[in-house]
């Protein structure tokens, strides 16, 4: 071939610079082929712990993406569960006692002892984990391993085997670099288990290692929370670093839609993506790096803000729960002389919910003491002012709250996420974006109260009906996959829409025709929501779940139903939720017997709250907040009529 090329060039009597030009093209062609082979190499470094100080020391000279990942898995908790979650792309639980160690054959194959028992336990609890295991999925590309613990699970195939690697690690620069080069010549992905401990030398070695392979895709993921990041509320949120040789910023995926946060499933999806593989059955999504000026500083601020928000949420949720028990106690004791005082407290909470949403546009959360001072002081001033005026404070602030929630969901979601009522508990890791079940309940109950508040101010029947259709149609849009992304809340809003149409537009005419019409309308609304969700670029978890049912079969639904049902039962029976719910039921029964004017719209709120409770795994929070608004409304509307 080269001889023919030589005579061709000679025969053509090409000039010297033309020959050089061709040689340059050949060099570029072959070198580009080599670099292409390196671009899809990936290294996953599992460390014992990772904090901001360590990150600053090991990657301060590199461009990198930084964010947080929740390492919480299904029960039983432990490293084995976390590694299997990374390997399968979904949260699973495995019994750590099944793991018996590592063994290496003469041919270099690594065996995970006890893997068969671990894997059988997983498949028993989740029928579809075997369809996605990383080591099996990327067997052709190859995954190797360096380490001496159960993190080898990440690299194993469905039989617990790894084709190449080492089961004893030497924390020496040359050894690590040479072994990495050796095994990455046989595979495209390397899983490295690296124990940092408290030694400065290992941090230095890790820094040198990263610098040596910085042209590869490198993920650094801790398997536990660092001691100086372990707060009362944080047992599972850890920082994660991703170097892809391209950009510097905050990590983000379609799974979270939040800058700075990714999920366990996203790690799996990204590794699949680096190998040019597409898998429609994955739960996670590809990881993006959103460019920022100072990702390290912004990550620290994001972490502090998240810690403060969960503390703020805990404080104010606690106040609401305590007040409900307080009201129940005095109603049970027939202390009606306390209702004026209780009415003032109810004002305070409802105004505070509105104010917390309004404060979501600020950055006061970075200083928890400043936030609490401003929040409580302003709430107190407004409460006293409203209490002295002859105005329906409950109806007025329900309307204000409804308006600001809609503004937030349609135009500025961070406003909701930065409030204690709309804050998604990122430390729990169940929901990252969209409406949580607390704000969903507030949206629905405030829409009902504000509708009747406005209705009483309007005499035109046509306008009343128009507002009815408008309000409860907007609820469905706000909770749909395109905005609020709360499937249980969306279904609840559809039922509420039908209730309001039936009671206000159809005049409670319970005919077969009307019933069939309402059922068909509800099915149509749900189908339209799923249609637009399916064809949207940013698919919600709901449509993803339906697609997995289509791909995996009905067992996917059964597995998810079991998980959600157990969550609902667990949170409902655990205090303080169980105590508050019982207290609210006592309050409602007592109020129904003593108030002179028990309106039918009260029952609409109760029915909606029950539906929201049943359809969501944390539906008890929906119920509690809807009942809080209802009890506040009943007391306010009847307090003067009871001659108190």
Do 286 and 330 belong together in one domain?
Answer: no
258 and 322 co-located in one domain: no
Section 624-644 average pLDDT: 86
Residue 304 tokens read as: 């502090």
User: pLDDT band for position 19 (50/70/90)?
Assistant: very low
pLDDT of res. 590: 92
- State pLDDT tens for residues 227-258: 888 877 788 999 999 998 777 899 999 888 88
Say if residue 420 is in the same domain as residue 402.
yes
For residue 367, being part of any structural domain is answered with yes
Do 525 and 501 lie in one domain? The reply is: yes
Return mean pLDDT, the chain.
Answer: 85
Asked whether 122 and 94 are in contact (CB, 8 A), the reply is yes
Quick one: three-class SS letters along 274-307? HCCCCCCCCCCCCCEEEECCCHHHHHHHHHHHHH
Are 18 and 128 members of one domain? Answer: no
Instruction: Judge whether 230 and 236 are in contact, CB under 8 Å.
Output: no
Q: In sequence order, what DSSP letters do the residues of 95-130 get, joined into one string?
A: -GGG--EEEE-TTS-EEEETHHHHHHHHHHH-TTGG
Domain region containing 556:
301-638
pLDDT at residue 6, as a whole number: 41
Cβ-Cβ contacts under 8 Å for 449 (sequence gap 6 or more): 394, 395, 398, 399, 605, 629, 633
Q: How far apart are CA 306 and CA 445, in angstroms?
A: 27
In a domain, 644, yes or no: no
For the entire predicted model, the pTM comes to 0.83
DSSP 8-state symbol, 61: T
Q: What is the mean pLDDT of residues 283-306?
A: 91
- Specify whether the CB–CB gap between 286 and 293 falls below 8 A: no
Average pLDDT over residues 560-570: 73
Do 88 and 17 belong together in one domain? no
Residue where one domain finishes, among candidates 265, 292, 319: 292
Are residue 81 and residue 15 in the same domain, yes or no? no
Upstream peptide bond of 576 is cis (omega within 30 degrees of 0): yes
In a domain, 643, yes or no: no
Q: How far apart are CA 208 and CA 93, in angstroms?
A: 35
The domain total for the chain is 3
Residues 310 and 258 in one domain: no
**Beta-carbon count within 10 A of 515 CB:** 13
196 inside domain: yes
pLDDT (tens digit per residue) in 516-563: 766 777 677 767 766 665 556 555 555 555 555 555 565 655 666 676
Residues 120, 251, single domain; the answer is: yes
Same domain, 282 and 377: no
């Amino acid at each position: 071939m080269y001889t023919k090329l030589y005579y061709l060039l000679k025969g053509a009597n090409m000039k010297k610079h033309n020959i050089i030009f061709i040689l340059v093209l050949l060099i570029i062609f072959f070198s580009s082929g080599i670099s292409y082979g390196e671009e899809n190499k990936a290294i996953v470094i599992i460390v014992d712990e990772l904090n901001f100080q360590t990150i600053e020391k090991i990657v301060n000279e590199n461009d990198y993406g930084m964010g947080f990942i929740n390492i919480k898995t299904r029960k039983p908790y432990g490293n084995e569960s976390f590694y299997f979650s990374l390997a399968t792309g979904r949260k699973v639980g495995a019994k750590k006692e099944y793991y018996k160690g590592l063994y290496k054959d003469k041919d270099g194959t690594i065996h995970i002892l006890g893997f068969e028992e671990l894997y059988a336990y997983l498949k028993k609890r989740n029928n579809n984990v075997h369809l996605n295991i990383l080591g099996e999925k990327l067997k052709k590309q190859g995954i190797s391993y360096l380490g001496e613990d159960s993190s080898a699970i990440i690299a194993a195939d469905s039989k617990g085997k790894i084709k190449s690697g080492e089961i004893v690690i030497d924390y020496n620069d040359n050894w690590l670099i040479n072994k990495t080069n050796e095994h990455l010549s046989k595979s495209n992905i390397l899983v490295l288990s690296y124990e940092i401990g408290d030694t400065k030398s290992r941090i230095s070695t890790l820094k040198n290692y990263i610098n040596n392979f910085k042209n590869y895709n490198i993920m650094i993921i801790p398997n536990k929370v660092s001691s100086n990041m372990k707060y009362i509320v944080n047992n599972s949120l850890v920082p994660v670093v991703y170097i892809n040789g391209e950009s510097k910023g905050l990590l983000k995926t379609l799974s979270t839609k939040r800058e700075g946060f990714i999920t366990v499933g996203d790690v799996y999806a990204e590794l699949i993506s680096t190998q040019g593989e597409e898998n429609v059955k994955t739960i996670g999504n590809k990881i993006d790096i959103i460019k920022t000026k100072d990702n390290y500083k912004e990550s620290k601020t994001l972490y502090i803000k998240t810690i403060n928000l969960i503390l703020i949420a805990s404080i104010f949720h606690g106040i609401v729960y305590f007040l409900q028990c307080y009201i129940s106690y005095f109603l049970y004791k027939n202390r009606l002389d306390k209702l004026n005082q209780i009415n003032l407290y109810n004002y305070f909470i409802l105004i505070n919910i509105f104010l917390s949403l309004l404060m979501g546009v600020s950055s006061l959360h970075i200083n928890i003491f400043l936030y609490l001072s401003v929040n409580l002081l302003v709430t107190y001033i407004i409460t006293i002012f409203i209490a002295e005026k002859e105005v329906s404070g409950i109806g007025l602030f329900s309307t204000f709250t409804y308006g600001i929630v809609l503004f937030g969901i349609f135009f500025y979601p961070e406003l909701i996420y930065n409030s204690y009522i709309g804050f998604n508990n990122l430390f729990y890791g169940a929901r990252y974006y969209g409406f949580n079940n607390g704000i969903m309940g507030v949206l629905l109950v405030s829409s009902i109260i504000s509708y009747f508040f406005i209705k009483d101010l309007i005499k035109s029947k046509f306008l009343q009906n128009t507002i009815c259709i408008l309000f409860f149609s907007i609820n469905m849009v706000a909770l749909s996959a395109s905005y609020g992304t709360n499937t249980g809340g969306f279904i609840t809003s559809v039922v509420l829409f039908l209730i309001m149409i039936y009671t206000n537009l159809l005049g409670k005419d319970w005919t077969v025709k009307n019933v069939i019409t309402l059922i068909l309308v509800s099915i149509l609304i749900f189908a339209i929501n799923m249609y637009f969700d399916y064809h949207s670029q940013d698919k919600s978890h709901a449509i993803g779940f339906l697609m997995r049912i289509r791909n995996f079969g009905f067992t996917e639904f059964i597995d998810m139903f079991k998980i959600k049902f157990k969550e609902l039962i667990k949170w409902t029976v655990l205090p303080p939720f169980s105590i508050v719910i019982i207290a609210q039921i006592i309050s409602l029964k007592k109020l129904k017997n003593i108030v002179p004017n028990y309106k039918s719209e009260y029952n609409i709120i109760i029915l909606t709250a029950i539906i929201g409770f049943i359809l969501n795994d944390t539906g008890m929070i929906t119920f509690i907040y809807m009942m809080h608004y209802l009890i506040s409304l009943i007391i306010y509307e009847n307090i003067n009529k009871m001659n108190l």
